[in-house]
């Protein structure tokens, strides 16, 4: 399904929920109650926290939400985040990807159609944890080069995709 077709499959409520959860998700014991209240103000009708959460779960099941969680500025917390890349032969790719994904320090792990084909981010508190893990990867029989590519400058810290919501409707459906 194309991006336009997928977007057309979204109800007004879906779009409102997606717009709200992308930016400013509340750090609160009952975040869905607060979000439902905000949505009610935007939609012109009250919505329950349960209905809001049900919509989030539906969006996740349909593939519109891949991950829902906080993104922290790691440096002030004493952590460093670095981009890593590796040349991994196809025949061992699944095993190496599983090894990488199993590490709690790995925040993203993805495949690229390139000789340097496995890319991941590693967020760590101590330099030696990264070095030890990269050495572990380099020791995997058959693996090619493994690169540590730390950022020198942050250019983009977030992306928010505000979906257009038809202002002519009074109902979020």
pLDDT in tens, 48-89: 999 999 999 999 999 999 888 777 778 888 888 899 999 999
Residues 42 and 79 in one domain: no
Residue 29 domain-assigned (yes or no): yes
Specify whether the CB–CB gap between 144 and 77 falls below 8 A.
Answer: no
Residues 37 and 82 in one domain: no
Residue 172 domain-assigned (yes or no): no
Mean pLDDT of the chain: 85
Residues 80 and 145 in one domain: yes
Residues 119 and 93 in one domain: yes
Residues 15 and 55 in one domain: yes
Q: 24 lies in which domain range?
A: 3-61
Residue 44 domain-assigned (yes or no): yes
Residue 163 domain-assigned (yes or no): no
CATH of the domain at 123: 3.30.70.3460
Residues 57 and 79 in one domain: no
Confidence grade of residue 23 (pLDDT, cut at 50, 70, 90): confident
**Total domain count for the chain?**
2
Residue 172 has pLDDT above 60, yes or no: no
- Cα–Cα distance, 141 to 13 (Å, whole number): 51
pLDDT at 17: 93
Residues 114 and 91 in one domain: yes
Residues 97 and 119 in one domain: yes
Residues 50 and 80 in one domain: no
**How much is the pTM?**
0.62
Name the one residue in this structure whose structure tokens are 């050495």. Answer: 135
Helix extents (H) in the chain: 3-8, 12-22, 31-43, 49-61, 90-101, 127-138
Residue 23 domain-assigned (yes or no): yes
The pLDDT tens digits of the residues spanning 125-168 come to 876 788 899 999 999 999 999 999 988 887 766 677 888 887 54
Say which DSSP state 162 is in: P
The pLDDT tens digits of the residues spanning 86-122 come to 999 999 999 999 999 999 899 889 999 999 999 999 9
Residues 79 and 142 in one domain: yes
Residues 97 and 128 in one domain: yes
Compute the CA torsion angle 115, 116, 120, 122 (nearest 10 deg).
160
Residues 142 and 97 in one domain: yes
Residue 17 domain-assigned (yes or no): yes
Residue 170 domain-assigned (yes or no): no
State the chain's maximal CA–CA distance in angstroms.
61
């Amino acid at each position: 399904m194309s991006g336009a077709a997928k977007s057309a499959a979204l109800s007004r409520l879906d779009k409102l929920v997606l717009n709200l959860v992308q930016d400013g998700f509340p750090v609160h014991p009952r975040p869905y109650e607060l979000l439902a209240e905000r949505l009610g103000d935007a939609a012109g009708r009250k919505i329950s926290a349960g209905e809001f959460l049900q919509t989030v779960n539906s969006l996740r099941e349909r593939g519109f939400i891949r991950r829902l969680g906080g993104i922290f500025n790691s440096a002030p917390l004493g952590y460093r985040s670095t981009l890593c890349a590796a040349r991994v032969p196809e025949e061992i790719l699944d095993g190496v990807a599983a090894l990488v994904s199993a590490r709690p320090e790995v925040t993203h792990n993805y495949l690229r159609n390139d000789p340097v084909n496995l890319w991941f981010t590693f967020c760590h508190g101590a330099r030696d944890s990264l070095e030890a893990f990269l050495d572990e990867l380099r020791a995997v029989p058959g693996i090619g080069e493994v690169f540590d590519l730390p950022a020198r400058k942050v250019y983009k810290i977030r992306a928010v995709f505000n979906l257009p919501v038809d202002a002519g409707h009074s109902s979020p459906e």
